[in-house]
Chains A and B, each alone.
Chain A
Amino acid sequence: MAGPGGRHAQAPGGGDLAGRQAELVAALVAGGPLPPGFATAPVEAARRALLRKRAGDVARHWPLLAAGLGDAWPATFAGWAAGRPTNGSLRDGWDLARELRDRDTLPPLGAEELAVREAAIRYDGRTAPRPRRLPAVARAGGAVAAQLAGRVRLLRPAPR
């Protein structure tokens, strides 16, 4: 990202709205530097408010994951999402759940939610998730779910 003297560091009113908007969004969601001239504290407050709002949005798409983490949900999500631009709430929660699974820190409720989702929907981690047409079995954190003809069942709950 261009700083002072860089590509977008034009004088105020210098007519590079696109570049300056891109710098501001990068500072808010992608860990970019604060563009020149902006007040630090209010932009930082906006960055944090944005993470709280995203945490709420993702919790609505992944209610069991959020409930499983309980009081730790806001901080867990913010820790993962800071500097990581959103791919939409469904994918954000999915990516976070997979990361927690790989770290062995996925709570049982989250494991069951992830297993059910993976049985029902194919998600490659890069593009929009798509419903599965073929029967599938999915496992996460000890939970096992299966999908047959569009119906999804949790075959084995995650160990408590």
Chain B
Amino acid sequence: MTAGPSGVGIGWRPEIAGFVAGLPGLRFVEVVAETVAPAGPLPDGLAELRARGVTVVPHGVKLSLGGAEPVDPARVAHLAGVAAALDAPLVSEHIAFVRAGGLEAGHLLPLPRSREAVAAVVANVRRAQAELPVPLALEPIAALFDWPDDELNEGDFLTEILDATGALLLLDVANVHANARNRGGDPGALLERLPLDRIAYVHVAGGTEQGGFYHDTHTDPVPAEVLDLVRELCDRRRPPALLLERDGHYPPAAELRGELDALAAASSYPVIT
């Protein structure tokens, strides 16, 4: 098994594969698990990164661990297969649901912060863990709305799930910012309540204001408030690794390098550009 993620990394996407391959200090990337075929050849560029010893973390987006129905065994098997094909140290997925009643949402949807939802997530995480060859890290999502019947606050909701499953935490500071901005709450107070020692790595991404909401688009530059939150997190307890996510509207290489450098500066990890 390869080493766990460390330092500054970037989300590997086919559109920026050339840029990513040219980063001299790169030690880890993340790939969307659903875009990799476990049995087939790895996407162009990803195999070369593995040959260079770069750690690749498969990141699932369609498992629907928060669904009330049992997680689809074929999707778990796919994630497990991708982890094996990439010799990954861990995999990650979201605390969310993406389908229900036979309908695909096409997006990560929030759960009620209820005991019933905790039980549903825990059951699905255990089902997944039983089949996965490596540890699983769970990522809380950004959401524009809450369910009407929350029984727990966000910190307790996450901590109960992590405690019951032993899963690692993938903390997205842009999501923390977005949720505080859209749903209220103090991002610092959330960091206070989360088991920061359980963080495997951290996501950082850009978003934009639209219609009175902050949208975590991954298509915009990382705003100053999110970098401030990275600094605040690192002051409390610096996570082992931080990863820049960019999906679509890829900027010129100089701008992407600037974003990676800003992330390195905010976390005091070595620059990788």
Say if the beta carbon of B143 comes within 8 Å of chain A. Answer: yes
Q: What is the minimal beta-carbon distance from A1 to any residue of chain B, in angstroms?
A: 9
Contact A18 B69 (CB under 8 A): yes
Contact B107 A15 (CB under 8 A): no
User: With A21-B67, A21-B100, A24-B100 given, is the CB distance from A56 to B248 under 8 Å?
Assistant: yes
Query: Contacts of A17 on B, CB cut-off 8 Å?
Result: 68, 112, 114, 116-117, 120
Query: Contacts of A30 on B, CB cut-off 8 Å?
Result: 103
Chain B 28-75 residues near chain A, CB threshold 8 A: 67-69
- A29 contact from B67, B106, B149, Cβ within 8 A: B106
- A13 contact from B100, B151, B212, B219, Cβ within 8 A: B151
Q: What is the minimal beta-carbon distance from B237 to any residue of chain A, in angstroms?
A: 32
Query: Contacts of B248 on A, CB cut-off 8 Å?
Result: 56, 60
Q: How far is the CA of A22 from the CA of B116 in the complex (A)?
A: 15
Chain A 48-67 residues near chain B, CB threshold 8 A: 48-50, 53-54, 56-57, 60
Stretch at the interface among A38-46, A110-118, A121-129, A133-141: A38-46
Contact B106 A50 (CB under 8 A): yes
1/0 per residue A123-156: CB within 8 Å of B? 0000000000000000000000000000000000
Contact B144 A42 (CB under 8 A): yes
- B103 contact from A12, A26, A56, A60, Cβ within 8 A: A26
B-side interface size class = 35 or more
Say if the beta carbon of B97 comes within 8 Å of chain A. Answer: yes
Contact A21 B106 (CB under 8 A): no
- Which residue of A has the minimal Cβ distance to B99? A25
Query: Contacts of B106 on A, CB cut-off 8 Å?
Result: 29, 50, 53-54, 57, 85-86
Query: Contacts of B99 on A, CB cut-off 8 Å?
Result: 25
Instruction: State the main secondary structure of chain A at its contact with B.
Output: helix
Contact A24 B144 (CB under 8 A): no
Contact A28 B105 (CB under 8 A): yes
Contact A45 B100 (CB under 8 A): no
User: With A17-B116, A42-B182, A85-B104 given, is the CB distance from A24 to B109 under 8 Å?
Assistant: yes
Q: Point out which of A21, A26, A43, A45 has the most chain B C-beta atoms below 10 A from its C-beta.
A: A21
Say if the beta carbon of A36 comes within 8 Å of chain B. Answer: yes
Contact B107 A13 (CB under 8 A): no
Query: Contacts of A56 on B, CB cut-off 8 Å?
Result: 219, 248
Say if the beta carbon of A37 comes within 8 Å of chain B. Answer: yes
- Which residue of A has the minimal Cβ distance to B106? A86
Q: How far is the CA of A20 from the CA of B100 in the complex (A)?
A: 9
Chain B 64-100 residues near chain A, CB threshold 8 A: 67-69, 97, 99-100
Query: Contacts of A12 on B, CB cut-off 8 Å?
Result: 148-149
User: With A42-B213, A86-B106 given, is the CB distance from A22 to B112 under 8 Å?
Assistant: no
Question: Which residues of B come within 8 Å of A, CB atoms?
Answer: 67-69, 97, 99-107, 109, 112, 114-117, 120, 143-149, 151, 182, 210-213, 215, 219, 248
A-B contact list, 7 entries, CB within 8 Å: A17-B112, A18-B101, A19-B101, A37-B149, A45-B145, A45-B213, A60-B248
* 6 additional A-B residue pairs with CB within 8 Å, beyond A30-B103, A43-B145: A25-B104, A39-B145, A42-B182, A49-B215, A50-B106, A87-B104
